Amino acid sequence: MRVYLFYRSHTENEPVIRDFMHDLKGRGENDIQLMDLNTRDGSSLASLYDVMQTPSLLVTSDDGQVVNLSQGTLPLANDVSYYTHQ
């Protein structure tokens, strides 16, 4: 599985996202890819999976199929852990 957390840099949510990622890494969650929608890679991946809001958590299977997409709010850390350990 692949887990992506989408955000926009230079907004009021950026520090919250950074703190959230720091907390997840403290729990040993290192398999989450942080995607900035203000970058070419982040924008193109968001477009591919119809990510319209930030923050958003996208979980895909290894072949790219969407397993879960939650948009607009930060997920619970336990939910993220569930997907990173699948």
- What's residue 58's pLDDT? 92
- β 2-7/32-36 pair status: parallel
Residues of the chain with pLDDT under 70: 30, 86
In the numeric block, the tokens 């992506």 are attached to 4
3-state helix, strand, coil in the chain (%, to 5): 35, 25, 40
pLDDT tens-digit profile of 11-29? 988 888 888 888 888 777 7
Domains and CATH numbers, the chain: 2-84 (3.40.30.10)
